[in-house]
Amino acid sequence: MKHIQAKRIVLGLTGGIAAYKAAELTRLLLKQGVEVQVAMTGAACHFMTPATMQALSGRPVLVNQWDAVGNGMAHIDTSRNADAIVIAPATADFIAKLAHGLADDLLSTLCLARDCPLLVAPAMNKQMWANAATQRNVAQLKADGVQILGPASGMQACGEEGMGRMLEAGELAAGIALFLNTLPLSLAPLPESGGVVRGMDGVKILITAGPTYEAIDAVRGITNRSSGKMGYAVAQAALEIGAQVTLVSGPTALDKPLGARVIDVTSAAEMFEAVRQRVTDADIFIGVAAVADYRVAQPSVQKIKKNADTLTLELIPNPDILAYVANLPEPPFCVGFAAESENLREHAATKRKAKNIPLLAANLAQQAIGSDENELVLFDDAGEHVLPHSDKLTQARALLQHAAKLFRTGHKS
């Protein structure tokens, strides 16, 4: 097997309060198999210490252009070994430097002398962001081919609310991974796969994720403990291999995958309708959501008052989304998920056969729900394939590799 070359970035921190997010961003990038070399301006050191960033990245932090590093040409050598430079946070001042080609410290010099793409995550007060000078500078960076990540609108450190807040670490990590199309060194193909799928450009993938919520009354409902993490990881993995992703999501607390079209729903009926409207345009359907099997027949518009020792609810079946999609006259390639509490292989194999789908991923609910890690077993016509215990994004990438190969060879049922 040919190993996949690890991606390397330079993460540049400038002097803004959002610099604290760089710590989590570094952790997430390393988790995705990206090597991170941190470089900081003097102002950034007032918000985050180089010692902290060195401990997180595992590498000495570049700060002073006069420090003796290697051959004394850190501003040249560092970018030559990087796949991209990411400035997060990027202050209005530093954006102005980039737009006008100024180089008066190590980080700005490194950016000017770069031989790789530059990504910038703005972070500033809403008035600074809206200022005509800042907007001119950002427009110039875009014209120069610089990728702008964000900003977002929200509460700012100054107490005001508006546009200028830096994207959250998870959103930035997803955007950077998408830009790099990164794959971890640990990702190996399944034994019979014959290689690693590098691209699915133009393939349309429809994914469901998260729990559904079925109302009992105005304040109560039936749901489950699904966090949506696996479905969102599958969406991220699909984006990384070039697919066009539509994510139909039940209620979660997760950041939206950057680059995906996200449809927010609440109930199983709403999820079914969202899928029904979009599935005919999909090449691949992946049903990861933990859809409630039943809903209350007559939910109350008002809160039900406690006036008896018992309360009887009549439950009726929800539509089976996966079965509906798999039984369309011309179905997309279907991937199902099964969360079992016991007899995993027996129940998963039975479900795949009953649904008549080419690929099913199964796990133990007690190990997977709410966790950041998982172990998946894939079931297809050739048998079963175990994906060893690892984080969910690594699991999702391996699943997508296997699904892509079956899809390409026409194994639809």
Provide mean pLDDT across the span 153-172.
84
pLDDT, one tens digit per residue, over 220-252 is: 999 988 999 999 999 988 988 889 999 999 999
Residues 136 and 383: their CA atoms lie apart, in Å, by 58
Alpha-carbon distance of 335 to 114, in angstroms, equals 42
Which tokens hold the place of 67? 């420090």
CA–CA distance, 359 with 375 (Å, rounded to integer)? 16
Query: Which residue has tokens 């996966």?
Result: 322
* Candidate from 118-127, 180-189, 292-301, 382-391 with smallest mean pLDDT: 180-189
Cα(152)–Cα(175) distance, integer angstroms: 14
pLDDT of residue 188: 34
Q: What confidence tier does 184 reach under pLDDT thresholds 50, 70, 90?
A: very low
pLDDT value of position 178: 75
Query: pTM for this one?
Result: 0.66
Q: Could you check whether the bond before residue 329 is cis, i.e. omega within 30 degrees of 0?
A: no
CA distance 160 to 165: 10
DSSP SS3 for 362: strand
The candidate with the shortest Cα–Cα distance to 9, out of 128, 135, 139, 111, is 111
DSSP lists the bridge partners of residue 359 as 335
For the chain, the average pLDDT equals 86
Task: Report the distance separating Cα 183 and Cα 207, nearest Å.
Answer: 20
Check whether 197 has a pLDDT greater than 60.
Answer: no
Side chain identity at residue 246, one-letter code: T
pLDDT (tens digit per residue) in 340-385: 777 778 888 888 989 999 999 988 766 667 677 788 889 999 888 8
Residue 195 has a pLDDT of: 42
Give yes or no for a contact between 322 and 287, defined as CB atoms under 8 angstroms apart.
yes
d(CA 174, CA 236): 7
Of residues 78 and 15, which shows the higher confidence score? 15
Domains of the chain (ranges; CATH) run 7-180 (3.40.50.1950), 204-408 (3.40.50.10300)
Residue 232 burial (C-beta neighbours within 10 Å; 0-12, 13-18, 19+): buried
Using only C-alpha atoms, the chain has a radius of gyration, in whole angstroms, of 24
Residue 287 pairs in a beta bridge with: 208, 336
3-class state of residue 98 by DSSP: helix
SS3 305: coil
Q: What positions carry a catalytic annotation? A: 158
| C-alpha–C-alpha distance, residues 147 and 126, integer Å | 20
CA distance to 5, 175, 246, per residue, from 277 (Å) = 40, 28, 12
Other beta carbons within 10 angstroms of residue 401's beta carbon come to 21
Helices (H), 199-320: 229-240, 268-278
Residue 108, token pair as written in the block: 């700005």
**pLDDT given at position 194:** 40
Q: What is the DSSP string of 37-54?
A: EEEE-TTGGGTS-HHHHH
Q: What is the model's pLDDT at position 190?
A: 38
Instruction: Indicate the burial class of 404 (C-beta count within 10 angstroms; 0-12, 13-18, 19 or more).
Output: buried
Tell me how many degrees the CA angle 217-222-227 measures, rounded to the nearest 5: 130
305-349 per-position pLDDT tens digit? 888 778 899 999 999 999 999 999 999 999 999 887 777 788 888
Is the pLDDT at 186 greater than 90? The verdict is no
